[in-house]
């Protein structure tokens, strides 16, 4: 994927990676897939190596992809949280992405790629931001949102791991950096499970990025107390995947159903527990199956949007 950096209307910037393959033969409705990485990664997460890149699937289907550096990563502007307000880190970020970043990406790459709508593909903390952005999008005319994909998040955290993560936060710090060895265990279940090629650990340090402490505290401390306020108003189709061996979130069928039930306004929902997968599906053996599912869903969403939401 090609690296990009764009100026936003408010003077800020958004950076990331983009792939604009030729449209597939024949006329059809084409999604622009916008990817939101999780905490401690950046846009390279979806393009880690040629073998792991989502473009292995998306290019073959003629789907344009933009993988952004979320605010606080890369060159993307990190908006300030208003002092004295109860607004959380994720609420500020999600609103900013909706108001500034997604309209700019659509302006730059929508026509250029011959896309007809945007579909958000999000992972982990990125799914927290994407959920808020999708909810804030209702009624906007700045870009056409046709679908939402979330993974690596859920309706219940693993309390033991959440407590361990809380214990490593130092008061007053703005960013924190994870030990790559710890990430291999928590994100990939290596070396004790064979869910990913051990060779991928050669890239762990290269993919590792400082995490804004605000998003880390939000996902662990407050997100589950308010997330349904956003999920219940999202009115586009949802694809949800939770890994069978997710170290950070509970992946039982009952909790998965609780997550689904929190999106009552979605026209349709597809969800599944992704067997034999760790938290970071995109870096595991299950990546191609999941990426293919995401791309297929995005195509369905683009067609649904075109046929049901014409002006």
pLDDT at position 163 over 90? no
d(CA 82, CA 286): 41
pLDDT at 80: 85
Q: Of 98, 93, 53, whose CA–CA distance to 72 is shortest?
A: 93
The 8-class DSSP code of residue 267 comes to: S
Residue 127 token pair: 């799914």
In Å, how far are 12, 61, 63, 130, 307 from 137, measured between CA atoms? 20, 27, 22, 10, 19
Per DSSP, the three-state class of 9 is coil
Model confidence at 161: pLDDT above 90: no
**Kind and range of the H or E element at 148?**
strand 145-151
Distances (CA, A) of 194 to 189, 284, 292: 8, 9, 22
49-63, 78-92, 188-202, 241-255: least confidently modelled range? 78-92
Give the residue-averaged pLDDT of 163-183. Answer: 77
State the pLDDT confidence band at 26, using cuts at 50, 70 and 90: low
Dihedral pair phi/psi, residue 232, rounded to 5°: -70, -15
Calculate mean pLDDT across residues 42-53: 97
| Distance separating alpha carbons of residues 101 and 32, to the nearest angstrom | 14
Q: Rounded mean pLDDT of 149-157? A: 96
The pLDDT confidence band at residue 27, using thresholds 50, 70 and 90, is low
Say what the pLDDT of residue 84 is: 61
Does residue 24 carry a pLDDT above 90? no
CATH code for the part of the protein at 2-308: 3.40.50.1820
Q: Which residue has the higher pLDDT, 58 or 173?
A: 58
How many Å from the N-terminal Cα to the C-terminal Cα in the chain?
34
**When comparing pLDDT for 162 and 234, which is higher?**
234
Per-residue pLDDT reduced to its tens digit, 52-97: 999 999 999 999 999 999 999 999 999 988 766 678 999 999 999 9
Does residue 157 contact residue 220 with C-beta atoms inside 8 Å?
yes
Task: Give dist(CA 278, CA 283) in Å, integer.
Answer: 9
Residue 307 has pLDDT above 80, yes or no: yes
Predicted local confidence at residue 195, as pLDDT = 97
- Residue 167: the pLDDT is 64
Sign of CA dihedral 299, 269, 46, 296: negative
- Answer whether 297's CB lies under 8 Å from 239's CB: yes
pLDDT per residue as tens digits for the range 94-111: 999 999 999 999 999 998
Name which of 102-111, 140-149, 165-174, 272-281 the model is least confident about.
165-174
User: Mean pLDDT over all residues of the chain?
Assistant: 93
Q: What percent of the chain has pLDDT over 90?
A: 83
Residue 169 has pLDDT above 70, yes or no: no
The structure tokens listed for 283 are 């870096």
Helix residue spans in the chain (DSSP H): 55-58, 89-96, 102-105, 125-136, 159-166, 180-188, 204-207, 213-221, 223-226, 228-231, 253-261, 287-308
Cβ atoms of residues 221 and 167 within 8 Å: no
């Amino acid at each position: 994927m090609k690296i990009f950096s764009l100026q936003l209307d408010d003077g800020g910037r958004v950076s990331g990676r983009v792939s604009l393959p030729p449209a597939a033969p024949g006329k059809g409705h084409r999604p622009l897939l916008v990817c939101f990485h999780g905490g401690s990664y950046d846009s390279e997460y979806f393009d880690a190596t040629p073998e792991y890149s989502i473009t292995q699937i998306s290019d073959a289907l003629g789907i344009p992809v933009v993988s952004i550096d979320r605010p606080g990563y890369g060159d993307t502007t990190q908006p300030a949280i208003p002092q004295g307000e109860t607004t959380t880190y994720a609420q500020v970020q999600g609103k900013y992405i909706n108001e500034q970043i997604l309209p700019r990406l659509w302006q730059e790459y929508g026509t250029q790629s011959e896309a007809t709508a945007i579909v958000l593909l999000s992972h982990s903390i990125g799914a927290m931001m994407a959920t808020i952005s999708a909810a804030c999008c209702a009624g906007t005319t700045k870009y056409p949102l046709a679908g939402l994909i979330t993974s690596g998040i859920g309706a219940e955290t693993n309390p033991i791991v959440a407590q361990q993560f809380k214990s490593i936060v130092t008061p007053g710090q703005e960013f924190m950096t994870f030990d790559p060895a710890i990430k291999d265990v928590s994100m990939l279940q290596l070396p004790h499970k064979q869910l990913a090629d051990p060779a991928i650990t050669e890239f762990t340090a290269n993919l590792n990025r400082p995490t804004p402490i605000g998003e880390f505290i939000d996902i662990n401390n407050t997100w589950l107390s308010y997330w349904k306020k956003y999920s219940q108003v999202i009115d586009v189709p949802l694809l949800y995947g939770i890994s069978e061996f997710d170290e950070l979130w509970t992946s039982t069928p009952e909790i998965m159903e609780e997550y689904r039930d929190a999106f009552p306004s979605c026209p349709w929902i597809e969800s599944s527990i992704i067997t034999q997968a760790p938290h970071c599906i995109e870096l595991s053996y299950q990546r191609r199956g999941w990426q293919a599912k995401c791309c297929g869903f995005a195509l369905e969403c683009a067609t649904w949007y075109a046929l049901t939401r014409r002006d």
